[in-house]
Amino acid sequence: MSIKGFCVLFLLALVILTSGCIDSEIYNIAKKGDVSLCDDLDTSDNSERIEKCYAAVAKETGNVSICQRMPKESRYIGRCYENVAVKTNNEYLCINIESDVRRENCYTTIAINKNDMSVCTKQVNTWGVDRCILNFAKKAGDVDTCRTMEITDTMYREECILYFAQKNKNELLCEEINDPKYRDDCYLKVAPLISGNLLCRKIDNQAKREQCHMKLAVIMNNEGECSNIEYETYSWYSCIKQVAVAKKDKNICSLMDIKNTEEIKSCKMQVANAIASE
């Protein structure tokens, strides 16, 4: 190893070690639950150590008054409220979190913890409500939640049903999706799970339909499935190659037009590489 490389690794190790010591000190204070000890921390190298310590103690104790003692401009105050909110399952504290992402996560986590979807609706942003309900439905594991949930953007309902169609390998759920894009995506994701090429044929978008047949061809080790793709197109060649590689069979490459020597050569080379990597 070069001297330069050694120096880089040494400095990296030093940073990790130093950070570990700081974290360990704050961790020990948090475990004691005594926020007054935070005020005695050395802040010569990091002026935010005390605020970080406050947030850690608040998380451990669930004491929201600690967050209220922090400067309003502190970048740890939102994390502090989030920690306490989740610790105590108090969704009313989530409103104090400035970050949209962290605030949404706060409501979602508590909704799931309390098994109460109504917690999602206490947000200000409608998109946050929709995504919270979507995540709640996924965690609840009940497709009926997708059907009954009141959402502003129907995209989340479609995404929710698609999730359960894939999870439960249930192609019938795809038919409940109104948006053509999501319905195609649903067929595309479920078809390989049930080895159903009839689902592939239901896909309106040609590119996705061909992708579906390619996936099935590889999963089923059946080059005949490639015949559902327009002959001698890029997708057809790709399908033949993928099956040949999956089966490690150079003879499948010969299905290509003998005049297209470059494609055949490429196919056989990929098969050879697959065999060599065994």
Helix (H) or strand (E) holding 111: helix 100-114
Give the burial string for 136-170 (b: 16+ CB within 10 Å, else e): bbbeeeebebbeebebeeeebbbbbbbbbbbeeeb
The distance of Cα 263 from the centroid of its chain, to the nearest Å, equals 36
Tokens 């790709």 sit at which residue? Answer: 238
Q: Which helix (H) or strand (E) holds 161?
A: helix 154-167
Closest CA to 203 of 212, 195, 193: 212
Separation in Å, CA 228 to CA 105, 215, 225: 44, 12, 6
* Dist. CA 218–CA 72, nearest whole Å: 57
CA 109 to chain centre: 16
CA distance 77 to 51: 8
Per-residue pLDDT of the chain (278 residues), as tens digits, is 444 444 444 444 433 333 444 478 999 999 999 999 999 999 888 888 999 999 999 999 999 999 999 988 898 999 999 999 999 999 999 999 999 999 999 999 999 999 999 999 998 877 888 889 899 999 988 888 888 766 667 888 899 999 999 999 999 999 999 999 999 999 999 999 998 889 999 999 999 999 999 999 999 999 999 999 999 899 999 999 999 999 999 999 999 987 788 999 999 999 999 999 98
